[in-house]
Structure 1
């Protein structure tokens, strides 16, 4: 807990520097903060790996090790870098943070920091980079001093940043696992996940990601490919990778948002999933899906997605409805409305893309607006019919309202499984779980650990709980107009109290007497009204 608090303080200190130099809430703020955080992390990871790979350095502190490295010949230092594992970035001695700290009073110090960032990015571009759909490499770092307009303030800004990250060490963090780094990542980006990109409309809370991962792969797995076509910052992917085993899966993703792409790459680095970085693609999933097997779209063992629900994609609508995409978008493409084009249901496109991209034994989980579960016509109904006819629906969980802080839309999670014919389908209404709290001025529902356990255990055991969960068949769903809503299958209960025949007769007599009184009152009232009407004189 202390390490988490210290790390959060370091993040806050970088944010404070940005605010002092006029970059608070600027579009560049997230980039500066995440770059400096990542550079510090990789700097310390480099020292950690050097010490681990060289027994003679095992007793040295980071500061002692840095002095040892600086005293080496160039060849000795290059040999040490060469021996490092692929998960560690290579950093030149002049670009170590301790070296920069000792040079912070040099003229134009900001250029030295910029150079350290760009040289480190270039040296590690083959491993530590993502790419666009056209194959352009996306570097880890860019210069940060250009974000400061005032020339005289550039070196002061760079100096302040170096001072903040130099006073902190990740040395004790490298023994930590997913829970630590997921907490830190969520804190790091908490101010930057709003409207984070065209295909990252809603940030997925860690609790929801955990539920999805534990339901999808309750017993882990091995040698599998996992995919998110609207990856955002990667919360769903990382939770699933951890559940399966980071060394037992390979991550694939695509998202059109450059910002989301950067944050996802940071997430992968923190969680030691460097090998998946080349599979992180920045491009439009619907018009230009990148991941392919020969000439066909790749198929994946697991797919998770929290796609944007509504968005204007009118410019690409006719292209997506064309012959080239017809097999993938079998249920159709939403029409362009005359007004409010931003209301186009783009999530329906992602559902179809996911169904097309699942392997023959693939499993998936998709976050959808709860209204999708019962829509009585059009594309939603066609998709639900397809899912049921192919017996791939494992179950549905309807979440509490406001479980996503950035949207008031009620959401549900659809679980798919093509590895078996699903004749028993678990439908769950978890809308009454959780506690409410205020977050950034918004009302939010927080799922507690006991709520998570109840959802996961009930779903995986297919347990029937009154007004909470029910098991139905594909035939049951078909008879209800293909509704995926648990509430429509719960038994309707009528409370009654048993009475004797004598009590029944007595109640009937009471009712009859009450009715007689009402009729008498009504008759008197009617006569009074008629009397009033006759007394009205008209001119």
Structure 2
């Protein structure tokens, strides 16, 4: 990371911290609205700077704006006709702002009364102006705009103006323009910092779990390759969360060479995914971001009602979840869920293995030439019964699975479950399956009270190169045929295929006799001590007598 990027990274993190400080000061820390306030103000700042950056590069009006001391002050002088004309020249993915929407214009009115109302109205106006480009939809086809009123979350109306001024003061401190060419490499780290306090197990029933960036990179590099020349690719995640897997995939393919499709039940995750797409120059895929239950209402379908098929499908689904409310509905769909659906346990409903439904949905969503990868609990790869076994048998018998990597423990902060990543190729063209035990890789670190482990760059390279070359490395990896897997009881655990090594050490007859004598001496001493203890115990037992007076109160 060069000095300029390092500086802007520090400034961006300082911006986020400043916004968090404001929400904390007004009693909104850790509230359900805090993430919305921070991400929307962050995005408003991004929109402002992105619009200014693109407007200054416009062939017609760019020179006028870039030569001015302050582009936004010059933009205030534009007529309505000039504004509309500028809009028509800008690329479709650029957010549009009218002169009264710019941060400088709004900030200059912060001393006037009722400023909170003005801020909210500006954000809503920007959202409406950009609704066709930046809104997302629910599975019921309702439109969710990108901005909403923010100051309403402060319950005391008398404090809202000061709250609004404080938010505006935070975002007025620096400019994003110098890193717009950085895209994924810059914004992925910023995004991770931006959401880290709002993406955890405290999210309720559908808690979001942030996929570690290293795992996302491994999945993307192995699915796509490091130098693939692909175009027009479609990428899908049925449990998209905040989009880490999709961003890594798009970055590996090339943001201009793929289209993103997603669905997630969480409103919060869908909002954050939208932000992630915008920051990573993938605004064109925003119409394909859907909030809703993928299992009961899969949104992405063909005209005939069949599931849409994609070139790449990735997923880090919830592992265990009580879905008894709609379990029977899923079970009735025997085409999509060909291996069945887990039953509702008699007592512990929360342990229903919902990930098994996502594995089947993922495979059903792949083109005949498509590739996919999914994060699953490691226990699945040696399953012996139930739906788990049926899924495992099917993906091996059909030669769909072509690799499995068992990851280190504690790579996820909020769950102690050991995870593995399965790789699928619907073309079934692999002759061998590469199994990797990466459980010993990575470095330990602490985040709050949680002990975590992360893969380093060298670890990622080792995994990727070993997988791609299908190398057999002692106690790390093995490449096995499908018949060998069946002979091992359909196990995808690398450790079960490793050779057991017995090390022999040459010694002389004199050394052998000496060691044997020492063993005999040690054993004789231990036997003697054992006999002594036996005799002592027997003596203690002989000394015990029944007390006839016990219980006699006279």
Once the two structures are superposed, the pairs formed by residues 78-93 of structure 1 within 5 Å of their partners are: 78-93=84-99
> In structure 2, what is the Cα distance between the partners aligned to 1:530 and 1:146?
82
**Residue number in structure 2 paired with 1:254:** 263
Once the two structures are superposed, the pairs formed by residues 381-400 of structure 1 within 5 Å of their partners are: 381-400=389-408
**Residue number in structure 2 paired with 1:435:** 443
| Counterpart contact for 1:197–1:260, Cα < 8 Å | no
Once the two structures are superposed, the pairs formed by residues 215-294 of structure 1 within 5 Å of their partners are: 215-218=222-225, 219-220=227-228, 221-294=230-303
**Residue number in structure 2 paired with 1:315:** 325
Deviation at 1:197, TM superposition (A): 6.6
Task: Specify whether residues 296 and 514 from structure 1 end up closer, same or farther in structure 2 by C-alpha distance, changes over 3 A only.
Answer: same
Deviation at 1:25, TM superposition (A): 1.2
> In structure 2, what is the Cα distance between the partners aligned to 1:91 and 1:15?
26
Choose the corresponding residue for 1:350, options 350, 355, 358. 358
Deviation at 1:64, TM superposition (A): 2.1
**Residue number in structure 1 paired with 2:196:** 190
Once the two structures are superposed, the pairs formed by residues 366-385 of structure 1 within 5 Å of their partners are: 366-385=374-393
> In structure 1, what is the Cα distance between the partners aligned to 2:532 and 2:177?
91
CA offset digits 1:33-55 (Å, max 9, x no partner): 00011111011111111111136
Deviation at 1:512, TM superposition (A): 6.4
Choose the corresponding residue for 2:12, options 1, 4, 7. 7
> In structure 1, what is the Cα distance between the partners aligned to 2:115 and 2:530?
94
| Counterpart contact for 2:242–2:272, Cα < 8 Å | yes
**Residue number in structure 1 paired with 2:121:** 115
Secondary structure of the 1:315 match is coil
Q: Which is worse superposed, 216-225 or 1-10? A: 216-225
Secondary structure of the 1:186 match is helix
> In structure 1, what is the Cα distance between the partners aligned to 2:246 and 2:236?
7
Structure 1 residue ranges (4+ consecutive) displaced by more than 6 angstroms after TM superposition: 512-539
**Residue number in structure 1 paired with 2:307:** 297
**Residue number in structure 2 paired with 1:142:** 148
Q: Which is worse superposed, 330-339 or 248-257? A: 330-339
| Counterpart contact for 1:362–1:417, Cα < 8 Å | yes
Q: Which is worse superposed, 151-160 or 301-310? A: 151-160
In the superposition, the TM-score normalised over structure 2's length comes to: 0.92
Deviation at 1:107, TM superposition (A): 1.6
> In structure 1, what is the Cα distance between the partners aligned to 2:395 and 2:118?
57
Choose the corresponding residue for 1:46, options 42, 51, 60. 51
| Counterpart contact for 1:17–1:160, Cα < 8 Å | yes
CA offset digits 1:338-372 (Å, max 9, x no partner): 22211111111111111111111111111011111
> In structure 1, what is the Cα distance between the partners aligned to 2:507 and 2:395?
48
Deviation at 1:209, TM superposition (A): 0.7
Residue 327 in 1 paired to residue 335 in 2? yes
Task: Specify whether residues 109 and 455 from structure 1 end up closer, same or farther in structure 2 by C-alpha distance, changes over 3 A only.
Answer: same
Task: Specify whether residues 60 and 388 from structure 1 end up closer, same or farther in structure 2 by C-alpha distance, changes over 3 A only.
Answer: same
Secondary structure of the 1:52 match is coil
Secondary structure of the 1:412 match is strand
| Counterpart contact for 1:437–1:445, Cα < 8 Å | yes
Task: Specify whether residues 498 and 61 from structure 1 end up closer, same or farther in structure 2 by C-alpha distance, changes over 3 A only.
Answer: farther
Secondary structure of the 1:332 match is coil
| Counterpart contact for 2:39–2:194, Cα < 8 Å | yes
| Counterpart contact for 1:200–1:231, Cα < 8 Å | no
Deviation at 1:520, TM superposition (A): 7.1
Deviation at 1:514, TM superposition (A): 6.7
Paired residues, number: 537
| Counterpart contact for 2:139–2:297, Cα < 8 Å | yes
CA offset digits 1:403-440 (Å, max 9, x no partner): 11121111111111123432211111111111111102
Ranges in structure 1 where 5+ consecutive residues have no aligned partner: none
CA offset digits 1:234-281 (Å, max 9, x no partner): 000000000011111111000010000000000000001011100001
CA offset digits 1:449-494 (Å, max 9, x no partner): 1111111111111111111111111111111111111111111112
> In structure 1, what is the Cα distance between the partners aligned to 2:414 and 2:532?
60
| Counterpart contact for 1:200–1:255, Cα < 8 Å | no
RMSD: 2.2
Residue 306 in 1 paired to residue 316 in 2? yes
Q: Which is worse superposed, 76-85 or 412-421? A: 412-421
**Residue number in structure 2 paired with 1:157:** 163
Task: Specify whether residues 178 and 531 from structure 1 end up closer, same or farther in structure 2 by C-alpha distance, changes over 3 A only.
Answer: closer
Q: Which is worse superposed, 95-104 or 521-530? A: 521-530
